[in-house]
Chains A and B, each alone.
Chain A
Amino acid sequence: MNLYEYMGKQIFRNYGIPVPNGYVVEKESDLKPFEKPVVVKSQILLGGRGKSGGIKFAKSQVELTQAVKELLGSKIRDLKVTKLLIEDMIKIKKEMYVSIALDRTARAPVFIATTEGGVEIESVPHEKIFTRHIDPLLGYSDFIGREAVAFMKLDPEIGKQFMKILPILYKIFMEEDCELVEINPLVITEEGSLIAADSKVIIDSDSLYRHKEFTVTDPEKTPLELEAQSKGYAFIELDGNIGVIANGAGLTMATLDALTLHKGKPRNFLDLGGTDNTDIVANAFDLVLKAKPTAILVNIFGGVTKCDTVANGIVMAKQKFSIKQPIVVRLSGVRDEEGRKILKDNGVDSYPTMMEAIERVVKLAGGN
């Protein structure tokens, strides 16, 4: 789960990483009287906010009120701005970059830093980036910071401040169950101090049970995806016309791939998971129907999920939601023959192989 900038900065502040003074406004009346030049930053989860007009500078009360009026409630690349972070302007001498992320292949956190901050890290030449894995059993130790400072040829005073930030960053990464903690830019001010001018923090969604303080609804999810999430389905909307229900993330992905290779256009990804409950099957149809597909494909390889349970769920859904669209079902695995018989008795097409079902549903779905 991605945290907003202001939430990430709150964590930084709590742990002792310097951040600019600031506060959050959700409506104009939250605004405090103008004292000194400020930056008004839209709180949306989007890279390149500045370029898209989501960040404004204010050097007077008039400019501040104007900026807040313009930004609050506006839409930036389809995302509605509901919160602004208002921060003291800092005098930037140089922008650096520092982050800790998970390297899955190495099974270790990796620490990345460069003196070329303020831009996307992907655009920085490889030889200018310091990369160092941290052995989680050893943890962070100052020698890692010294390696980084030497690599980046930091001025000794800045180096000293940088060495204070690194162990804190590592502590946040570990204690808050992060996938990523990134400061970009980490600013060297004209006064010669380091300050985190932005924050990007991603928390492992599977750890949220032990981080109840973070309750952000993912703005990248559509209303239907959020509804699916609340009902416990792994569901993603796509832009085609064939509704898809399958079991297992891998098989569901393979179903979408096979549909696409057959010139079919999937409307969604829906992984039933392992279930032996007809209601869960029937309610999956409710979600898919809300996406208004022209045909529905069900692809089940029975294991934990029994084919006859799925068949009963399909029959139940068909009656409950008076489904008009053609439904094509592939059932294979545990209790497939029983399942196909139930479907046949209730007038639903079913096939033993994935390819037959896919060819059939593409034909029935018609153009987009």
Chain B
Amino acid sequence: MSVYVNENTKVIVQGITGHQGSFHAGEMIAYGTKVVAGISPTKAGTKFMDKVPIVASVRDSLEFQPDATMISVPAPFVKDAAYEAIDAGLKIIYILTEHVPFHDSLDIVLNAKRKGAVVFGPNGPGITSVGKCKIGIMPNKIFKKGNVAIASRSGTLTYEIVDAVTKSGRGESTVIGLGGDPVVGLNYIDVLEQFEKDPDTEQIVLVGEIGGSNEELAAQYIKKHVTKKVVAYITGRSAPPGKRMGHAGAIIEKGVGTAESKIKAFNEAGVKVADYPDNVPELLD
């Protein structure tokens, strides 16, 4: 068993002919993901890498029975692309694109929920069900099959921690990037619920950052509902208040969202917090 996606998940790529879309579609295929079609209104009828059919619309791709999509189109077109996928009945929507206006994200996330679809991102690295399916941009080579599930708000930092876990001799079950924007499709509680139920997962790493109160809410949830071991890493402890640290979400405003508050909440929930990314494996079983 695995969460959200598995070895049978069929994926389409909206924007497969773009620079990012084509590179990452190729990497996903190399990982073993079943990429069944690409969408490009102008290149319909051709093939991607001589094997994946390119069609004009998400509707046209339904003959390949897709479950999921990776959206890699410019920010102004993301809302339309996501609506197209939601309307066609796809249940897993991964948005690679950065700088999507959050009002658009709000519309996408709420309408996805209404139609029973799950949104990864915007502005996150996607999801990898190790050894089964990768949707997104995580480097293929860092994973090793194991029992550690990882959820994070950032990209590169996630790879750093996956790499540390792998190099420590352990391995991962599922790795999820929630996205670094103010409005994203999933929060920690959504994925904790899945990890708790997942027989492949025995321990969980949460990678958090300053801004908002999602980590604090996750800590409360863990106290009540999570029986598996959870450890955490929080970044942004040295960030000055009022300065946005790259991610649109990473900002300490009016004292809310500090690293101290998040670390305290985790400690109170019995979740050990690593000082450095490299220290995460030491806290695991």
Instruction: Report A216-275 residues with CB < 8 Å from chain B CB.
Output: 220, 234, 236, 238, 246-254, 256-261, 266, 269, 271, 274
Inter-chain CA distance A220–B160, complex, in Å, is: 32
B277 & A254 in contact (Cβ 8 Å cutoff): yes
B172 interface hit (Cβ, 8 Å)? no
**B278 and A204 within 8 A (CB):** no
B25 at the interface (CB under 8 A from A): no
* A136 in contact with B107 (CB, 8 Å): yes
Q: Is B249 an interface residue (CB 8 A)?
A: yes
Interface set, chain B 63-120, CB cutoff 8 A to A: 75-76, 99-103, 106-107, 109-111, 114
Contacts of A251 in B (CB 8 A): 154, 156-157, 160
Beta-carbon contact of B212 and A250 below 8 Å: no
Q: Is the CB of B183 within 8 A of A254?
A: no
Residues in A whose Cβ lies below 8 Å from that of B254: 122
B residues in contact with A220, CB < 8 Å = 242
A residues in contact with B153, CB < 8 Å: 250
A206 beta carbon closer than 8 Å to chain B: yes
Is the C-beta of B240 less than 8 angstroms from some C-beta in chain A?
Answer: yes
CB-CB under 8 A from A258, the residues of chain B are 276-277
For B141, list chain A residues within 8 Å (CB).
Answer: 334
Chain A residues within 8 Å of chain B by Cβ, number: 50
Q: Please tell me if A366 contacts chain B, counting CB pairs below 8 Å.
A: no
A355 touches B278 (CB 8 A): yes
Binds B, one of A28-36, A101-109, A164-172: A101-109
| B183 CB contacts on chain A under 8 angstroms | 102, 104, 107
Q: Which of A319-368 contact B (CB under 8 A)?
A: 332-334, 353-355
A137–B160 alpha-carbon span in the complex (Å)? 38
Q: Which residues of A contact B244 (CB under 8 A)?
A: 236
In the complex, how many angstroms separate the beta carbon of B125 from the nearest chain A beta carbon? 8
Asked whether A8 is an interface residue with its Cβ less than 8 Å from the other chain, the reply is no
Once the chains are docked, how many angstroms separate the CA of A201 from the CA of B27?
43
The answer on a CB contact under 8 Å between A250 and B209 is yes
Residues of A within 8 A of B139 (CB): 302-303, 333-334
Q: How many A-B residue pairs have CB under 8 A?
A: 150
- CB atoms of B238 and A260 under 8 A apart: yes
Contact B160 A304 (CB under 8 A): no
Does B225 reach chain A (CB closer than 8 Å)? no
Q: Is A174 an interface residue (CB 8 A)?
A: yes
Q: How far is the CB of A187 from chain B (nearest CB, A)?
A: 24
In the complex, are the beta carbons of A206 and B75 less than 8 A apart? yes
On chain A, the residues within 8 Å of B76 by CB distance are 209-210
Q: In the complex the two chains form, is A206's CB within 8 Å of B248's CB? A: yes
**Distance of A200 Cα from B110 Cα, bound (Å):** 27
- Of B114, B235, B238, B275, the residue contacting A250 (CB under 8 A) is B235
Please indicate the chain B residues that have their CB under 8 angstroms from the CB of A174 in the complex. Answer: 103
Query: In this assembly, does B196 line the interface, its C-beta being within 8 Å of a C-beta of chain A?
Result: no
Contact of B180 among A137, A249, A256 (CB under 8 A): A249
Q: Which residues of B contact A332 (CB under 8 A)?
A: 160, 163
Q: Is the CB of A248 within 8 A of B238?
A: no
In the complex, which of the residues B156, B207, B248 contacts A247, with contact meaning CB atoms closer than 8 Å? B156
Bound Cα distance A107, B102 (Å): 10
Question: Given A303-B138, A354-B277 in contact, is the A250-B101 Cβ separation under 8 Å?
Answer: no
Find out whether the CB atom of B156 lies under 8 angstroms from the CB atom of A253.
no
Q: List residues of chain B with CB within 8 A of the CB of A137.
A: 110-111, 114
Bound together, the chains give a CA A304 to CA B23 distance in angstroms of: 9
Most chain B beta carbons < 10 A, residue from A210, A274, A304, A334: A304
Q: Which residue of A lies closest to B75 (CB)?
A: A206
A107 touches B160 (CB 8 A): no
Known contacts A105-B213, A137-B114: A204-B180 contact under CB 8 Å: no
Q: Is the CB of A236 within 8 A of B245?
A: yes
Known: A253-B235, A253-B236. A333 touches B101 (CB 8 A): no
> Quick check: is B131 within 8 A (CB to CB) of the other chain?
no
A301 adjacent to chain B (CB < 8 Å):
yes
Complex CA–CA separation, A104 to B214 (angstroms): 9
Shortest distance between the CB of A292 and any CB in chain B (Å):
19
Residues in B whose Cβ lies below 8 Å from that of A105: 187, 212-214, 217
The answer for the CA separation of A137 and B113 in the assembled complex, in Å, is 11
Contact of B209 among A108, A122, A253, A259 (CB under 8 A): A253
Pick from B180, B187, B235: contact of A257, CB under 8 Å? B235
Q: Which residues of A contact B100 (CB under 8 A)?
A: 206
A259 to B209, CA, bound (A): 17
Q: Which 9 A-B pairs have the closest CB atoms?
A: A250-B154, A248-B156, A249-B246, A250-B157, A207-B101, A260-B238, A251-B156, A253-B235, A303-B139
A residues apposed to B, CB below 8 Å: 102, 104-105, 107-108, 122, 136-137, 174, 177, 179, 204-207, 209-210, 220, 234, 236, 238, 246-254, 256-261, 266, 269, 271, 274, 301-304, 332-334, 353-355
Other A-B contacts than A102-B102, A206-B102, A303-B155, 9 sampled, CB-CB below 8 A, are A104-B183, A107-B106, A136-B106, A137-B111, A234-B246, A248-B156, A249-B180, A253-B210, A353-B278
Interchain residue pairs with CB less than 8 A apart (27) = A102-B106, A104-B182, A104-B214, A105-B212, A105-B214, A136-B110, A204-B102, A205-B248, A206-B100, A207-B102, A209-B76, A248-B156, A248-B246, A249-B180, A252-B245, A253-B209, A253-B238, A254-B157, A257-B235, A259-B238, A260-B237, A261-B275, A261-B276, A303-B156, A304-B23, A333-B142, A334-B141
